[in-house]
Structures are given as structure tokens and as C-alpha cells.
Chain A
Amino acid sequence: MKTGLFSVFSALVLLVSGIFFPWSKTMLIIGLCYGLSALGVAIPAKSGQVSFGHAMFACVAAYSVAFIARAFPAMDGLLLLVLATLFGTLFSALLGLFVVRYRGIFFGMLNLAVSMVIVTLLGKLYNLSGGTDGIRVERPALMGMLTDRSEFETLLLVLTLLVGLSAGWFYQRFTQSATGEALAGLKSNETRLEYLGISAHKVLWVGYVWSGFWVSLAGAIFALAQGLVTPDMGSWTRSGELVFIMILGGASHALGPFVGAAVFQAVKLFASAYMAGVWQMLLGLTLLTVIAVAPDGILGAWQKRRESLRQGASS
């Protein structure tokens, strides 16, 4: 309950920041999209399966936005988001049928391999996808409203915050549900899962599809916010960043990936401003520090600290 209130309060703070500092709106939306995607990556990670290709779902959804908007220029932005998310999710459902049969490094690398095929196709099929230059996405009407850039960004920020809160609520419910606990059980003992009559493939598939859904939704929002989609969105480095954010923030609570995304963006911003030549090194050092000091991520460390303080107080 307290965490829920904190999340709503944080969302309001972000919204107010966006309104008072209009230059920060796009940055906030993109940061939230990263958090949302990392939250998606955290779902199969609950079962011990880390995907190094999940950015492909964001890419598929983003290109769906671009293709649909090009074919139907008058289509509302909200409908674009719905359709693009649907395509991304369907793609994850189909791909999931194949990849959930694999575990560990094979699961991770298969996702990466498929994402690289998609990125390469998008880069090479110039007439269809615009090649590495990508496709511009014109600003659509949003919820029936034709807006200027600033109003559009405000509406999109509100929408993204609402999506973020819903995703957080979903993640908390899902991970504590029977499917979520079975997914976590898959990590420690797949044999027992099967001997309880539970299909490990099916449980992982359900998690994978939900994961694909949230990453796709983030990708679709990203496309509208950025106004441009490029194959880079699905590159393995982008997928790596999502895993990075998940580890940085921690996956023990829905807030973790968003905290991770905020820290990631802040470090990236700081590093590119003051250490432009070696910004990746700073990110790497940050991750190393987090793994060494707080292996459960920033939020995991905070939760542990709170727990130990509570135990100390009660004893």
C-alpha cells in the first residue's frame, strides 16, 4: 500500500516536473519507456531466463506504429499504440512458442539472434523500412485532440505515467500469483514443476508474452515520443541496456526497473556531458559497483536494509 502511494506520488512529481520544465518531457517519457521495457525483461528473468534480445519487441511495435501511421495518416495516436502493441505482443507469442523450449544461455542467445535478424532486415530493406535512416512518425492526434508539440508531449507523458503505474501494479500482482510463483519455481526446480502437472513451457510462455506486451507498449510510446524509428531500437546493445537497467534497479519490486532506468539515464546524461569519450566505461563501473555492493539491485539493497532495520527494532 505504502509503495503504491509512493509510486503514485512519484508519478505526480514527474508530471509536475514535466510541466514546469517542458524540456524534460521527452527525456522523462523515454526514461519511463526504458523502465517499462526493463520491467518486461524482469518477468522471464524471474524464472532465471535472461533475454538479450528483448528490445526487438520494442522495435517491432515501433515500426508497426510507423507503418500503420504511414498507411493511415489520420489514425489516432491511441489506436496506433493499441495496434502496435498488439503486433509486438503477437510476435512475442509466436516467437515464445519456440524460445521457451530453451534454457539459460540458449534462451538468451536465441532471443539475441532473432533480434539481430530483425535489425538486419530493417536496415537492408530500404524501400520498405527506410534502411538505417528509419522512418519518421508524424505527430498524430491523441485521444481525438490535435495538439502542438508541447501539449502532445504532456499528454504522452500523462499516458506513459498511467501505463507505468498499471505495469507496476500488474507486475506486483503477476509475480505473486500462481503463475508468477510457478515461474519463480521454474528457476529452482523445473522437474518438480512438471511432476506437479504444470507445464514449464506454458508457464514460461505466459511470462514471455506478458513481457513482450510491456516491451512492445514501451516501444510504441517511444516511437510516438521520438517521432522517428530506426533499426537501432532493436539492436543487441539496446537489449543489453534493458538487462543492465533491470540488474541496476533490481527485479524484486516493480519500482526496481524504473529506479534502474532513472539511474541509468542520469549516469548516461552526466557521462555524456562530462566524460563524453568514456561514457560506456562509467556505465560499466556503475554496474560493477552495484553488482559488488548490492547484487539484488538498488531496490533490493534498500529492501534488505529496511528489513534488517525492522528486525533490529523488533529484537
Chain B
Amino acid sequence: MNPVLLSAKDICLSFGGVVAADHIDFELKTGERLAVIGQNGAGKTTFINICTGYLQPTAGRVVFDDHDITGQSPRSIVRLGLGRSFQLPQLFTEHTVQQCLEISAAARSRHLSWLTSLSSSVDQTEVFETLELIGLRHVANEVCAELPEGHKKLLDVAMALMLRPKLLIMDEPTSGVSSQDKHGLMALVMQALDERKVTSWFVEHDVDIVSRYATRVAAWIDGKIAADGDPQTVLQHPQVRQEVLGEMAC
């Protein structure tokens, strides 16, 4: 049995009268591919923000790879091996695609040079391997701000991948991407994650994507996990069908 990589116990967080995390207990094992589904406002991103240090829970604790990361800064959590991509890609918009990956590679070494050029201070083979893996080699010299949305999403994931994370959390990796491009994008991302042996957890609204790429599904409803298990069981769960998939079908 695979060891637990991330666990959250009794996590609570409210914004005024809105309960975004209501006594959540959660575990993620090494090697899993978890899809998180739920209506908008169900608390999926809030929970990601708690696990990645962006928000601090009012109660509960989060343990990642045997380290208590509750309330730690995103920076310290990333250094432990928990990477993240965002619903709105967080890129260095004035840099090129290649430079973004070079900065990520330099960040991993934790020592940022002052006088050696960025390109010569990182392993270019690894940069180009990652670009190839994620399908961005042909736009390596493009400035990020000018990339189409799908490429921005891929780059966001690639930047996190350069850190060689143990776990990668992706918040809606296919949002803003046309329906015909979604599967291609996910295929590239999942292939890259498999090759680098990275455990993953992604938030997704598309049931086809969830059924095809997840090994486990957790459904969020009103700040709670309403169902958690293998995709077939969770997607057939009556409450999930009514409150989550009904919403998603619209």
C-alpha cells in the first residue's frame, strides 16, 4: 500500500458567514491521481489555498510528507516538494517561455546567481526536455504574454514541474481552453506527470476529463467532502449526481 503523502485533519475556514471548509478530513496517497469536482463556491480552491499556504485555516492541521505545513508560507511548502498551478496561469508575462523555465530551474537550486547569466546557471538539457515533454518546445522563444491560453496553462504546469515536486496540485488546468483542445492538453500534462512520477490532484469541471484521467474522485459540496472514492462510484453517487453533475451538465 502506498504511503500517505498529504493529510488534512479537521480543517475549518469561514469567510464571514460563508463556510468554505467545514471540518474537512482528507488524505492523498503517493501515486494517486485525484480529481476534485464540485460547484463553484464549494470550497475546492479554498482547500487548495490552505494546503499550499495561501490561506491559514482557523482550525485543523495539514501534513505533507511528514512535515506539518499548517500556516507555513507558500515558499516553504513549495520547497518541501508541493508544486502548484493556477486557474489563472501565474507566469512571468514579460519573459519568454524558456526564461520562465530557467527561473524555475534556478529556484530549485535555492541559490540565485548574481553575476552568472541565468541561461548558463541552469541545466539547459533539463529545460528543453521539459519543454519537449509538455509540448512547448516550438514556442520556447515566445514572450509569455503573447501565448494562447492553452499554452499558458501548460507553461504554468511546466514551471511547477521544473521544481521536481512530489505532489502537483492543479487548479482547473483546462479552464479557458476550447473543448477540442482540453483532452490534448490533459494528455500532455498527465504524460509528463507519469514520466516524472509525480502524484497529482486536479480540480476539474469536465466529467469526461475526470473519468479518463483520474484514479480517484472527491466531490466537494458546501465546504465538505460529500463523496470520495474511485471515479465510477463517486460519479454515480446520488448527491453528487444531483448537486454537482446536475450543475456541471448545465
Residues of A within 8 A of B (CB): 170, 173-174, 176-182, 184-185, 187-189, 191-192, 194-199, 203, 206
Contact B93 A189 (CB under 8 A): yes
Contact A189 B121 (CB under 8 A): no
Contact A184 B94 (CB under 8 A): yes
Contact B103 A176 (CB under 8 A): no
- Nearest chain-B residue to A177 (Cβ)? B113
Complexed CA–CA distance, A241 and B114 (Å) = 28
Of listed A174, A180, A192, A203, residue having the most chain B CB within 10 A: A192
Complexed CA–CA distance, A195 and B94 (Å) = 18
What 5 new A-B contacts, CB under 8 Å, besides A189-B90, A195-B74? A177-B112, A177-B118, A177-B121, A192-B92, A197-B163
Contact B103 A185 (CB under 8 A): yes
- Nearest chain-A residue to B76 (Cβ)? A197
- Nearest chain-B residue to A170 (Cβ)? B115
Query: For residue B113, which residues in chain A have a CB less than 8 angstroms away from its CB?
Result: 177-179
- Interface size class, chain B: 35 or more
Complexed CA–CA distance, A177 and B107 (Å) = 12
Complexed CA–CA distance, A206 and B113 (Å) = 11
Complexed CA–CA distance, A185 and B79 (Å) = 19
* Smallest CB separation, A273 vs chain B (Å): 41
* Smallest CB separation, B167 vs chain A (Å): 13
* Nearest 4 interchain pairs by C-beta: A178-B106, A196-B107, A192-B90, A178-B112
- 17 A-B pairs with CB atoms under 8 Å apart are A170-B115, A173-B115, A178-B106, A179-B112, A181-B118, A189-B90, A189-B91, A189-B93, A191-B86, A195-B78, A195-B83, A196-B107, A196-B163, A197-B79, A197-B107, A198-B103, A199-B75
Q: Does B73 contact A (CB under 8 A)?
A: yes
Contact A174 B114 (CB under 8 A): yes
Q: Does B104 contact A (CB under 8 A)?
A: yes
* Smallest CB separation, A166 vs chain B (Å): 12
Q: Does B178 contact A (CB under 8 A)?
A: no
Contact A195 B91 (CB under 8 A): no
Q: Does B99 contact A (CB under 8 A)?
A: yes
Q: Does B116 contact A (CB under 8 A)?
A: yes
Q: Does B2 contact A (CB under 8 A)?
A: no
Query: For residue B121, which residues in chain A have a CB less than 8 angstroms away from its CB?
Result: 177-178
Contact A197 B75 (CB under 8 A): yes
Contact A192 B159 (CB under 8 A): yes
Complexed CA–CA distance, A262 and B147 (Å) = 39
Query: For residue B118, which residues in chain A have a CB less than 8 angstroms away from its CB?
Result: 176-178, 180-181
Contact B94 A188 (CB under 8 A): yes
**Docked complex: B96-152 residues within 8 A CB-CB of A:** 99, 102-104, 106-108, 110, 112-118, 121-122
* Smallest CB separation, A243 vs chain B (Å): 20
Query: For residue B114, which residues in chain A have a CB less than 8 angstroms away from its CB?
Result: 173-174, 177, 179-180, 206
Q: Is the interface of A mostly helix, strand, loop or mixed?
A: helix
Residues of B within 8 A of A (CB): 52, 73-75, 78-79, 83-84, 86, 90-95, 99, 102-104, 106-108, 110, 112-118, 121-122, 159-160, 163
Of listed B78, B102, B114, B159, residue having the most chain A CB within 10 A: B114
- Nearest chain-B residue to A210 (Cβ)? B114
Complexed CA–CA distance, A178 and B118 (Å) = 5
* Smallest CB separation, A193 vs chain B (Å): 8
Contact A184 B75 (CB under 8 A): no
Query: For residue B74, which residues in chain A have a CB less than 8 angstroms away from its CB?
Result: 194-195
- Nearest chain-B residue to A199 (Cβ)? B75
Complexed CA–CA distance, A270 and B113 (Å) = 43
Query: For residue B122, which residues in chain A have a CB less than 8 angstroms away from its CB?
Result: 178
Contact B95 A195 (CB under 8 A): no
Query: For residue A177, which residues in chain B have a CB less than 8 angstroms away from its CB?
Result: 112-118, 121
Complexed CA–CA distance, A192 and B103 (Å) = 11
Query: For residue B107, which residues in chain A have a CB less than 8 angstroms away from its CB?
Result: 182, 196-198
Of listed B90, B99, B121, residue having the most chain A CB within 10 A: B90
Query: For residue B75, which residues in chain A have a CB less than 8 angstroms away from its CB?
Result: 194-195, 197-199
Query: For residue A206, which residues in chain B have a CB less than 8 angstroms away from its CB?
Result: 114
* Smallest CB separation, B212 vs chain A (Å): 27
Query: For residue A185, which residues in chain B have a CB less than 8 angstroms away from its CB?
Result: 92, 95, 103
- Nearest chain-A residue to B115 (Cβ)? A173
Known: A188-B93, A192-B92. A197 touches B117 (CB 8 A): no
Contact B94 A198 (CB under 8 A): no
Known: A189-B90, A194-B73, A196-B78. A173 touches B163 (CB 8 A): no
Query: For residue A203, which residues in chain B have a CB less than 8 angstroms away from its CB?
Result: 112
Complexed CA–CA distance, A182 and B114 (Å) = 11
Contact A195 B160 (CB under 8 A): yes
Complexed CA–CA distance, A187 and B118 (Å) = 17
Complexed CA–CA distance, A212 and B95 (Å) = 26
Query: For residue A180, which residues in chain B have a CB less than 8 angstroms away from its CB?
Result: 114, 118
Query: For residue A179, which residues in chain B have a CB less than 8 angstroms away from its CB?
Result: 112-114
Query: For residue B93, which residues in chain A have a CB less than 8 angstroms away from its CB?
Result: 188-189
Known: A173-B117, A192-B92. A197 touches B103 (CB 8 A): no
